[in-house]
Amino acid sequence: MSVLSVEGLHKRFKRSGLWSADGAEVHAVNDVSFEVNEGETLAIVGESGSGKSTAARLAMRMIDADAGRIELLGRDITTLSGHDMIPMRRHIQMVFQDPFASLNPRMRVEETVAEGLKVHAPEMGKAALRQRVAEVLSDCGMGEETLSRYPHQFSGGQRQRIGIARALAISPKVLVLDEPVSALDVSVQAQILNLLKKLQSEHSLSYLFISHDLSVIHQVADRVAVMFAGRIVEKGSAAEVFASPMHPYTKALLAARPISHPDERRKSSAGIPEPAEDVCDTGCAYRLRCKCARQDCESFNGELIGEMHGYACLHPCC
């Protein structure tokens, strides 16, 4: 059963910078569709600037889409007003990339974690509020002694646990995890990923997991959507995508991930094309980088080929 579904999302932003022409725009998200099912983790992966974080923010209605449809728990939230979105926001919460920047340095942990409860459960008294905050912090591996402390008194991993507790406090159905471990040391990353798995099992949570790190994705994802230049270029189960990638961009991402054995590194890096400075505005956006590109790629519309394991490529096995 789908808890979050988006269809045909589009978002353009005006280009910024000294050399940008007046009115020039970039198509940050281009006809993106995906769904997150109950209790599963859908990972969206891609390089910086691929549009993955923008797609997540559109799905949450943190920013408004230019076109498309968003459903949360079966309700169309695409055009809900800010006031009407308030009761829906308790069902979908975000954990941000930077655990320090996402916490107010002037607020104690108790105040931070209780923020959402004060909005979505105003009937709770002070004692019940404190009990709920302590309970959710405990679920995230933080003791009651943390309640009166400030964010700067914690390590990066502890701050991320507080951020997760804040998101969980109002019992959401969906967590959007935007690069939740990329700012942490490798050993701490493993701890946070194990915590997220535990919480998902205990609370029947659904995750929309945004990352550029395929090693992390391999550990957590049930399904994977690969984004390039604002489009999803491959989508399928994590097992299928990792075992049999079809799109040249997915193959390049997998080949570029860290591999410990020298022989495997040599095999995986063979034939990876050098990245081009720009992507194509028409046809296949990846074709300037692609060693498999043919003339028909110039008119390809980018639609996914295949049902369970879809890929946007005319020549996947060249």
> pLDDT tens digits for 47-91?
999 999 999 999 999 999 999 999 999 999 999 999 999 999 999
What pLDDT score was predicted for residue 259?
57
For residue 281, the one-letter residue type is D
Alpha helix stretches (DSSP H) within 103-236: 109-120, 126-139, 156-168, 186-203, 214-220
User: Is 234:310 a contact under the CB 8 Å cutoff?
Assistant: yes
Inform me whether the pLDDT recorded for 129 exceeds 80.
yes
Inform me whether the pLDDT recorded for 208 exceeds 90.
yes
Q: What is the pLDDT of residues 279-302, one digit of tens each?
A: 767 889 899 889 889 999 999 999
- The pLDDT confidence band at residue 121, using thresholds 50, 70 and 90, is very high
Q: Which residues contact 122 (CB under 8 A, 6 or more apart)?
A: none
Q: Tokens 């399928």, residue?
A: 236
Q: Which of 286, 291, 292 is nearest to 315 (CA)?
A: 292
Packed helices 126-139 and 156-168: angle between N→C axes, nearest 10 degrees: 130
- Sign of the CA dihedral with 184 first, then 187, 192, and 197 last: positive
Q: Which of 247, 215, 249, 232 is nearest to 33 (CA)?
A: 232
CA dist 223 and 74 (Å) reads 21
User: Is 304:310 a contact under the CB 8 Å cutoff?
Assistant: yes
Inform me whether the pLDDT recorded for 134 exceeds 90.
yes
Q: What is the pLDDT of residues 140-152, one digit of tens each?
A: 999 999 999 999 9
Q: Give exposure, 261-274, as e/b (b: 16+ Cβ within 10 Å).
A: eeeeeeebeeeeee
Q: How far is CA 149 from CA 89, 102, 111, 153, 254, in A?
A: 27, 16, 10, 7, 42
What pLDDT score was predicted for residue 53?
95
What domains can you pick out in the chain, each with its CATH number? 2-91+172-311 (3.40.50.300), 100-171 (no CATH)
From first CA to last CA, the distance across the chain in angstroms is 37
In terms of phi and psi (left: phi > 0; alpha: psi -120 to 50; beta: otherwise), the region of 171 is left
- The pLDDT confidence band at residue 183, using thresholds 50, 70 and 90, is confident
